Amino acid sequence: MNNNAKTLENALIGAWGISLIATLGSLYFSEILKFIPCDLCWFQRIFMYPQVILLGLAVIRKEYGIARYSLALSIIGGTISLYHYALQKIPFFQTHAISCGRIPCTGQYINWLGFITIPFLALVAFFLISVLSIFIIHKEKEGK
């Protein structure tokens, strides 16, 4: 296996690992700690959970083209996370927030160090997967 192939494989494994940790983390918050997800949390899950399967299968089959799809899912999910985080942390968004179901999207189950909330954790995961996906896309083009 040449260096480029090993680098691509490591990046894909990294993206899969991040999606797995994010998925298990969200399940821990909801199923173990009993934090009820708000509507925006559910939308973020919709864009994160499939990536565990897609990226996992791509790792097994060494299909680096999946990075394009993973990037699309991560950009959409990350945009939702960014908006959700803004609802939690920026007063303008809090006062102009629309109703978000029975659980308010402005609520913060966790607030570590004054800025780390669940949507922030999701945003970081989506960002890292996006960076790795872009890296894979560029590396794959170099190899062709």
pTM of the model: 0.95
The list of the chain residues with pLDDT below 50 reads none
Check: CB of residue 81 under 8 Å from CB of residue 73. Answer: no
pLDDT of the residue at 1: 61
Check: CB of residue 20 under 8 Å from CB of residue 128. Answer: no
Check: CB of residue 125 under 8 Å from CB of residue 19. Answer: yes
pLDDT of the residue at 144: 63
DSSP per-residue string spanning 14-72: HHHHHHHHHHHHHHIIIIIS-PPP-HHHHHHHHHHHHHHHHHHHHHHHT-TTHHHHHHH
- Which positions ≥6 away from 57 have C-beta within 8 Å? 63, 66
Distance in angstroms (rounded) separating the CA atoms of residues 127 and 120: 10
Terminus-to-terminus CA distance in the chain, angstroms?
A: 15
For the chain, the average pLDDT equals 95
